[in-house]
Amino acid sequence: MLSLLLVLTASAGDPKIGEVLAGLAGCEGCHTEEGGKPFAGGYPVETPFGTFYGPNITPDATGIKGWTEADFVKAMRQGVSPENKSYWPTFPYPAYTQMTDEDLGHLWAYMQTIEPVANEVRAHDMRKTRFELGVWRRLGFTEGGRSWEIETGEHARGAYLANAVAHCGECHTPRNMIGIPKSDLQFKGHEDPPEPSPPITKQELGWSVSEFVSFLEDGWAPDGDVVGGQMGHIIRDGTAKLSAEDRRALVEYILSR
């Protein structure tokens, strides 16, 4: 198991740490189409604003082979490509912008170890314009904001993992009409198509801390159901590989909301 991610003192750019961060962030799930090579892109994400296709993020010419680490940090922190083109927020950079420099370095190191795959991913099928994306960015994105820094002790560590890396609120929080998460309903879940998301607050979920911790370790819910889909990826490749301390900090923060 890894030590606490937030206070780890390993050398910069450790791909083993980056692999856990990538798993916690759900990178493979969103960048791998069914039956495709890992991280080679093509996974469709249907939203009220159009269908987005996860890009190829392998170190191939059709992926991110020409990127520098600075390009990668720019994408994660600013939500823009090396060519200064703004990304649509299906790429959850409003969360990733909060990640520490150290963890971005670890994640970049891991990205360099992924098998290169040639796969030219199709363009997004949009129902919105780049003008509307600009409006969204002005209203819904703050570069470099670190909401977890307002927390203290164990909650600060849990908030970092939940809000910056795992971006739990991006999937488990309802959004307003232009797609901005409703902060007053954080983790309350939603019924919006195409993929409703359950609430994960203590009141609605009804799980104890130990039950939630166990779920994030093995994927088994207290009622005997086993998780699949994107959450299954996040547990298998991410939360299951966290230290016991980090897993508990993550749960205690979420259930405190």
Identify the three-state secondary structure at position 181: strand
Angle between helices 229-237 and 15-24 (to 10 degrees): 150
37 part of a folded domain:
yes
Structural domain tally of the chain?
1
How far apart are alpha carbons 17 and 37 in whole angstroms? 22
256 part of a folded domain:
no
Token pair in block for residue 199: 């609430």
> In the prediction, which pLDDT does 170 show?
92
**Interval 171-214: pLDDT, tens:** 999 999 888 999 999 999 988 766 788 999 999 999 999 999 99
For residue 140, pLDDT beyond 70: yes
How far apart are alpha carbons 222 and 240 in whole angstroms? 16
133 part of a folded domain:
yes
193 part of a folded domain:
yes
How far apart are alpha carbons 21 and 234 in whole angstroms? 10
For residues 224-228, give the mean pLDDT.
Answer: 92
Structural domain range at position 140:
1-251
How far apart are alpha carbons 189 and 200 in whole angstroms? 7
Q: What is the pTM of this model?
A: 0.90
257 part of a folded domain:
no
Token pair in block for residue 36: 């495709």
For residue 154, pLDDT beyond 80: no
For residue 5, pLDDT beyond 80: no
Token pair in block for residue 173: 């929080």
172 part of a folded domain:
yes
76 part of a folded domain:
yes
How far apart are alpha carbons 7 and 3 in whole angstroms? 8
234 part of a folded domain:
yes
